[in-house]
């Protein structure tokens, strides 16, 4: 394992790094071997209040308001360049912090850069429209910044989500306060450190590290916040929404999923097999859009699952820095949560077709490695097929008819992503039209989709959309102007 120089990282508030007293620090550990990576501040309502006030001051400053949209775009392009110049370091930090294979972290770095490029191009194209009302009146709309935006960043894709949060906030003329997850804050802090020389007005971007129940709760309840984005669990999302409601503040919530890959007998089996595996083992299954359910036509189920078992048992497992197929899960808490679902399968007599055990990795005995797991013949109504496991655990459920496949796919509290595997074009579009989810992939699986594709869910997967031009709606508000002549 790579030796790490343990440092104390500060909160970034009003263009300055602030380090609190020693007793208010959080340890950040490497999930591969539990080694200490860094200390970060245990920020709370004090730091949040300072950050929000800094963001508010920046938002109302003449300096920020006089920046032309085109120049905001130029600044975002510069950030993309800086990210690529430091891609190896950022990927390494992300892998040590989150545990994912270094190749996956490298992809995350490129996606982060692309977010800044994408929204750089959109910065001077946030358009209003004219509306015909009656003769003698010119009626038009303008889209204005919403104000100070609070972003609560999850632990599984911290660099990607911090990048899209900052990029869209700046593109739309807002200012931002980010609260990264206490487990994985290091790339968010590194990103704003890299941005410092660009001359962004002090307070335009702020980062406060800390626990969700302290710093996160203070951010979602702050009366000067104008919009909140949150990615995380349903229960925490409810609390964020309740806090925001007291201040009449809009929220964008992405609350996870139980996403199916629906595999019909007429599919390209090899392609479907490849993506079913990728969509459940990426980031050790710790992905909100993971393809965690295989819903498969009964006539091909046995052969397909046999191939799946064979392929999964060949996957390499180890510390992310060695670039295996599968890295560790985040923490002991996360490992025990996943294991509780596997124990439930054993208790209820559900077949564990492969995996289901902790993997001991040489020189990383204290790491949280879990074998990729297939739970076979899981009834569609069973808890294992209904609730998000958030690990490399795939449930298998069969269907006889197209109607039954749709019923099973829609039959959970979630509705984030679905994959449809069939060579029948009519069936593909028919099924896609009936699925209750925010994204449908036909004969591939985007695991969250690309930068330009609106991303968000139905039902308990949340509401509002991140990514793409659709996200700009969350960060702007509409003003109507009517001129009589």
Instruction: State the CATH number of the domain containing residue 432.
Output: 3.40.309.10
CATH for 40 = 3.40.605.10
Q: Are residues 289 and 251 in the same domain?
A: no
Q: How confident is the model at residue 371, as a pLDDT? A: 98
Strands 462-463 and 251-254: antiparallel
Q: Are residues 266 and 246 in the same domain?
A: no
What's the pLDDT band for 21 if we cut at 50, 70, 90? confident
Give me the mean pLDDT over the 248-276 stretch.
97
Q: Are residues 250 and 267 in the same domain?
A: no
Q: Are residues 132 and 186 in the same domain?
A: yes
Domain assignment present for 111: yes
Q: For the chain, report the end-to-end CA distance as a whole number of angstroms.
A: 73
Domain assignment present for 195: yes
What's the pLDDT band for 452 if we cut at 50, 70, 90? very high
Q: Are residues 238 and 264 in the same domain?
A: no
Task: Report the distance separating Cα 242 and Cα 238, nearest Å.
Answer: 6
Q: Are residues 251 and 208 in the same domain?
A: yes
* Among 477, 55, 13, residue whose Cα is nearest residue 225: 55
Domain assignment present for 456: no
Domain assignment present for 148: yes
Global pTM?
A: 0.96
Q: How confident is the model at residue 9, as a pLDDT? A: 83
Q: How confident is the model at residue 447, as a pLDDT? A: 55
Residues forming the active site: 254
Domain assignment present for 2: no
What's the pLDDT band for 19 if we cut at 50, 70, 90? confident
For 267-309, write each residue's pLDDT tens digit. Answer: 999 999 999 999 999 999 999 999 999 999 999 999 999 999 9
Give me the mean pLDDT over the 366-391 stretch.
97
Q: Are residues 398 and 473 in the same domain?
A: no
For residue 154, what are the domain limits?
A: 7-255+463-482
Q: For the chain, how many structural domains are there in total?
A: 2
Residue 1 has pLDDT above 70, yes or no: no
* Among 108, 61, 26, 49, residue whose Cα is nearest residue 327: 108
Residue 228 has pLDDT above 70, yes or no: yes
- Going along 216-344, which residue ranges are E strands? 227-231, 251-254, 260-263, 293-297
Q: How confident is the model at residue 169, as a pLDDT? A: 98
What's the pLDDT band for 240 if we cut at 50, 70, 90? very high
Give me the mean pLDDT over the 343-352 stretch.
98
Mean pLDDT of the chain: 96
Task: Report the distance separating Cα 116 and Cα 465, nearest Å.
Answer: 17
Task: Report the distance separating Cα 312 and Cα 152, nearest Å.
Answer: 34
DSSP code of 212? I
Q: How confident is the model at residue 4, as a pLDDT? A: 59
* Among 26, 27, 32, residue whose Cα is nearest residue 2: 32
User: Could you tell me if 222 and 200 are in contact, meaning their C-beta atoms sit under 8 angstroms apart?
Assistant: no
Give me the mean pLDDT over the 362-376 stretch.
96
Q: Are residues 221 and 111 in the same domain?
A: yes
Which residues 6+ apart lie within 8 Å of 187 measured at CB? 90, 93, 94, 97, 158, 159, 162
Q: How confident is the model at residue 446, as a pLDDT? A: 81
User: Could you tell me if 418 and 262 are in contact, meaning their C-beta atoms sit under 8 angstroms apart?
Assistant: yes
Q: Are residues 279 and 357 in the same domain?
A: yes
Q: Are residues 251 and 330 in the same domain?
A: no
Q: Are residues 274 and 408 in the same domain?
A: yes
Helix or strand (DSSP H, E) at 420 = strand 417-421
3-state secondary structure of 160: helix
Q: How confident is the model at residue 22, as a pLDDT? A: 73
Q: How confident is the model at residue 299, as a pLDDT? A: 98
């Amino acid at each position: 394992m790579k030796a790490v120089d343990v440092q104390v990282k500060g909160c970034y508030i009003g263009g300055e790094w602030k380090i609190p007293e020693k007793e208010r620090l959080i340890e950040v550990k490497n999930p591969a071997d539990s080694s200490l990576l860094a200390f970060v501040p245990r920020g709370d309502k004090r730091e949040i209040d300072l950050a929000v006030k800094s963001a508010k001051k920046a938002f109302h400053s003449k300096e920020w308001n006089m920046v032309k949209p085109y120049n905001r775009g130029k600044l975002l392009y510069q950030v993309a360049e800086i990210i690529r110049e430091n891609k190896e370091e950022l990927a390494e930090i992300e892998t040590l912090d989150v545990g994912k294979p270094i190749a996956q972290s490298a992809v995350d770095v490129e996606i982060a850069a692309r977010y800044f490029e994408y929204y750089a191009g959109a910065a001077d194209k946030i358009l209003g429209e004219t509306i015909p009302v009656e003769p003698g009146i010119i009626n038009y709309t303008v889209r204005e910044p919403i104000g100070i935006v609070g972003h609560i960043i999850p632990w599984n894709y911290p660099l990607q989500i911090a990048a899209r949060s900052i990029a869209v906030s700046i593109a739309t003329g807002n200012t931002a306060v980010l609260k990264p997850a206490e487990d994985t804050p290091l790339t968010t802090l590194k990103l704003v450190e890299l941005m410092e020389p660009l001359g962004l007005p002090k307070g335009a971007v702020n980062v406060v590290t800390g626990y969700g129940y302290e710093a996160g709760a203070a951010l979602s309840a702050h009366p000067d916040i104008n919009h909140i984005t949150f990615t995380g669990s349903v229960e925490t999302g409810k609390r964020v929404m309740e806090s925001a409601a007291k201040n009449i503040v809009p929220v964008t919530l992405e609350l996870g999923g139980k996403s199916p890959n629906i595999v019909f007998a007429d599919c390209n089996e090899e392609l479907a097999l490849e993506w079913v595996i990728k969509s459940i083992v990426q980031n050790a299954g710790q992905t909100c859009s993971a393809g965690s359910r295989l819903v498969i036509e009964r006539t091909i189920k046995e052969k397909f699952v046999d191939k799946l078992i064979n392929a999964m048992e060949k996957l390499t497992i180890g510390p992310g820095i060695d670039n295996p197929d599968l890295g560790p899960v985040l923490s002991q808490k996360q490992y025990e949560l996943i294991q509780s679902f596997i124990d439930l399968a054993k208790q209820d007599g559900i077949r564990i077709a492969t995996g289901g055990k902790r993997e001991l990795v040489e020189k990383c005995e204290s790491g949280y490695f879990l074998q990729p797991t297939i739970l076979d013949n899981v009834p569609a109504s069973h808890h294992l097929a209904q609730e998000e496991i958030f690990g490399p655990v795939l449930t298998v459920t069969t269907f006889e008819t197209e109607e039954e496949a749709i019923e099973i796919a829609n039959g959970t509290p979630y509705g984030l992503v679905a994959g449809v595997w069939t060579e029948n074009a009519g069936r593909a579009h028919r099924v896609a039209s009936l699925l209750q989810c925010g994204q449908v992939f036909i004969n591939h699986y985007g695991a969250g989709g690309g930068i330009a594709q609106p991303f968000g869910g139905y039902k308990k997967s949340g509401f509002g959309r991140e990514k793409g031009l659709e996200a700009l709606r969350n960060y702007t508000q509409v003003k109507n102007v009517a001129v009589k002549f």
